[in-house]
Amino acid sequence: MGQQKVFRVKELFNTRFIYITFCKDFTYMLENCIRLKDDKTWQYNAGNEVQEELYAAVLNGDTPVFDLKDCVLTTDASLLIFKYQDKGFIFIDTQDAARHRILEENTRRIAELPETVVLPKFDMRKSIVDYINSLDSSLVYEYPENSELYRSLIILIAMTRPKVKIVMDNVMAEVLTTVSSLLTLEVLRKYDEFYYYTQEGVEILKLDNGILHTQRLGDVPLEVASHGGYLVPTVFGSQRLMNSEDWEPVFNKALKSVNNLIKLRPRTLREILVED
């Protein structure tokens, strides 16, 4: 009772290619595991003998460990795995050391997450500056919703008040993708440490004699890595960048996005009467 049992994901689904179609089956399987922990009478359908062994292990009180050895993951599958890591599931990779480190880092980060409060709702009738200045740097915030408005606000907060702490795990991909797309290779060459987002997740890479050690591409120069994923210098979110000429396109894009969304909001009756 209460032991860890390793299951190879490849054998659970009879394929090494875990893409969006299998994400539905993956979700069904993991949700069954959650239900069976609380209700041993929960009815489920096992897709094969290995899945039957998995459910039997959960019913026995064992902890399943999912080995991604040999698996090829799409972005959808990677995000699904990170979601269920957050729910306490254990994922490893006994073949790919780089992917295993990412999985371990995700587990560590989840375990160390502090208590958070939700970012205050942004009142579109008020100043962006007032909103950002109202945030308390002694608190740890989480985003209220994954929307363009709050992703853009998070970028502005990171660039103007980096001491304000925001847990971005579930919006990290969108934020890094947006920021990376606005940074030129010339700007990237000025830094030696980066967040690197690919479909496997987010790595922190440090230049070593002009080479980055990446999971997907192996050891490659900066130029090659920038084509295989999204690179963002780690000064983002740790230094005040709003006055940097190099980072101006990032700041302006986020600011424009928020301002455009403010213009699109329905006007209140009071505002209409004031205009008249």
Mean pLDDT by 10 residues, the chain (276 residues): 89 89 89 94 93 95 95 82 89 92 85 83 88 94 85 95 86 89 95 85 84 83 88 95 95 94 60 41
Nearest in space to 126 (alpha carbons), one of 265, 274, 276: 265
Give the end of a domain, one of 62, 88, 111: 111
pLDDT value for 1: 54
Distances (CA, A) of 65 to 57, 121, 147: 11, 39, 33
Tally of structural domains, the chain: 2
Model pLDDT, residue 264:
66
Residue identified by tokens 């292990």 is 57
- Per the CB < 8 A criterion, the answer to whether 141 and 135 are in contact is yes
Please state, in angstroms and rounded to a whole number, the distance separating the CA atoms of residues 203 and 172.
Answer: 12
Q: Would you say residue 276 lies in a domain?
A: no
- 92 and 179 in a single domain? The answer is no
Please check whether residues 135 and 82 belong to one and the same domain. no
Residue 202 pLDDT = 77
137 and 188 share a domain?
yes
pLDDT score, position 26: 92
**Contact between 201 and 93 (Cβ < 8 Å):** no
Claim to verify: residue 260 and residue 127 sit in the same structural domain: yes
Question: Does 273 map to a domain?
Answer: no
By three-state DSSP, how is residue 4 classified? strand
Query: Scanning the structure block, which residue is given the tokens 């480190």?
Result: 101
Q: Reduced to 3 states, what is the DSSP secondary structure of residue 93?
A: coil
Burial 233-248 (b: 16+ CB within 10 A, else e): bebbbeeebeeeeebe
Q: Which of 76, 111, 146 is the last residue of a domain?
A: 111
Same domain as 123, residue 79 = no
Beta partners for residue 65, in sequence order: 6, 90
Answer yes or no: is 131 within a domain: yes
The span from the CA of 92 to the CA of 102, in Å, is 9
Burial class (CB in 10 A: 0-12, 13-18, 19+), 74: middle
Does residue 174 share a domain with residue 90? no
Q: Are residues 143 and 255 in the same domain?
A: yes
Residue 78 maps to a domain: yes
Point out the domain boundary residue: 111, 141, 174: 111
> Distance between alpha carbon 62 and the CA centroid of its chain, in Å?
29
* Collapsed DSSP state (helix, strand, coil) of residue 239: strand
- Distance (Å, whole) CA 91 – CA 95: 13
Q: Is residue 79 one of the residues assigned to a domain?
A: yes
Residue 268's DSSP bridge partners are none
Does the reported pTM lie above 0.85? no
Would residue 17 count as lying in a domain?
A: yes
Is residue 59 located within the same domain as residue 163?
no
Residues 227 and 123 occupy one common structural domain: yes
- Do the Cβ atoms of 134 and 117 come closer than 8 Å? no
Whether 146 and 259 map to the same domain: the answer is yes
Q: Is 272 domain-assigned? A: no
Between CA 118 and CA 137 the distance in angstroms is 13
User: Within this chain, do residues 23 and 139 fall inside the same structural domain, yes or no?
Assistant: no
Containing structural domain, residue 189: 117-264
| Adjacent-strand bridge partners of 195 | 204, 232
H helix count then E strand count, the chain = 12, 13
Kindly state the tokens that stand for 275.
């205009």
Same domain flag for 126 and 106: no
The predicted pLDDT at position 70 comes to 94
The verdict on residue 274 lying in a domain is no
Q: Structure tokens of 47? A: 């897709």
Q: Exposed (0-12), middle (13-18) or buried (19+): which is 186, by Cβ within 10 Å?
A: exposed
